[in-house]
Amino acid sequence: MQQTRRALIGALAIALLTMAGAAPSPAAADDLKEVRIGFQRAGIFPATKQRHTVEDAFKSRGIDVKWVEFAFGPPLLEALNTGNIDYGYTGDAPPVFAQAARANLLYVAALPSAGKNEAIVVPENSPIKTVADLKGKRVGFAKASSSHNTTVAALEKAGLSYSDITPVYLAPADAAVAFAGGNLDAWTIWDPYLALVEKGKVRVIVSAKDVHEANAFFLANRDFTAKHPDVVAKLNQIFADESVWATSHHAEIVKALHESTGLETEALTRAVDRTQFLVTPVTDKVTATQQTVADRFHKLGLVPKPVDVKEIVWTWTPGS
């Protein structure tokens, strides 16, 4: 567990340093010279960067590509809102909180998930056997992240209320330390952190797939999308094509992740092998599922007003 903790902290520290150093100015409206992509060091992103797929696609237009790394979704969406990035990837909960805060962004593509890459874990010797046993317990997760949504959905399914637990809001690296030190009774976390911690003496009590339909999203700054819809559509298509490639190239994905994060290959292989690589338009079904997420957080009072997801859905036709 000590080794796992160091790996998690190291990977996230590098991500935070990278993010801290990136504060580019918004793109010019009439002469686009650079597109800035917010990403997390997971999934296809390290491999796509290594393959220069995006760079090659925009080279003929004289558009450079800048990759800006984030530890998780909420700070990425803040950068998207302020125009410090143009396009980025997050899980399901961050856009809900961002929309409630009137963030200047749009859903531009969806990444439906099989729900196997996120789970609630407890120490192996914990008396907690089911989600119902979390009553009165300290549960750690990143606030306004997909793990927040998975936690709430799991509680709902088990017949518990949010007030039945003590939520402990922690970024992944801090949560890893707290969990390893016995300061959390349970931890809701996603891959590759989940795959790493599974190597220790832990038990999964529920996975995301058991409690809700999970989606992730590509989002874009609203103003950028209005000025450069062709660029946003092209980015969607590039990542859709990269996802098709990734489905049959797991070894390459693992290698790129290992080189990018320094994390061990065994855990990364487990994470990649249970990932569904798929990029689609934001369909009516996806919108309805995301509306459920928005309604869930509003009902709990965690977002201050109702959110109508469809108001910020942008239509993309694959192949465009």
Whether 150 and 118 have beta carbons less than 8 Å apart is answered as yes
Distance in angstroms (rounded) separating the CA atoms of residues 287 and 15: 30
Amino acid at 298: H
In angstroms, the first-to-last Cα distance of the chain is: 47
The partner residues of 221 in beta bridges, in order of sequence, read: 105
In Å, the largest CA–CA distance within the chain is 61
Banded model confidence at residue 313, pLDDT cuts 50, 70, 90 = very high
| Helices vs strands, H then E, count in the chain | 13, 10
Q: Is the pLDDT of residue 233 over 50?
A: yes
The mean pLDDT of the chain is 90
Q: What is the DSSP letter of 313?
A: B
Q: What is the pLDDT of residue 44?
A: 92
Q: What is the DSSP letter of 129?
A: -
Q: What is the pLDDT of residue 57?
A: 97
pTM score, two decimals? 0.86
For the segment 180-195, what is each residue's pLDDT rounded down to a tens digit?
999 999 999 999 999 9
Distance in angstroms (rounded) separating the CA atoms of residues 17 and 260: 14
For the segment 247-294, what is each residue's pLDDT rounded down to a tens digit?
999 999 999 999 999 999 999 999 999 999 999 999 999 999 999 999
Whether 203 and 133 have beta carbons less than 8 Å apart is answered as no
Q: Is the pLDDT of residue 23 over 70?
A: no
HEC secondary structure over 267-301:
HHHHHHHCCCCCCECCCHHHHHHHHHHHHHHHHCC
Q: What is the pLDDT of residue 145?
A: 93
Count Cα atoms within 13 angstroms, Cβ side, for 200: 18
- Residues contacting 302, CB < 8 A, separation 6+: 97
Structure tokens at 193: 């952190």
Distance in angstroms (rounded) separating the CA atoms of residues 111 and 100: 22
Banded model confidence at residue 72, pLDDT cuts 50, 70, 90 = confident
Structure tokens at 311: 């108001």
Banded model confidence at residue 42, pLDDT cuts 50, 70, 90 = confident
Beta 166-169 vs 34-39: how paired, if at all? unpaired
The least confident of 9-13, 50-54, 74-78, 247-251 is 9-13
Q: Is the pLDDT of residue 26 over 80?
A: no
Q: What is the pLDDT of residue 124?
A: 95
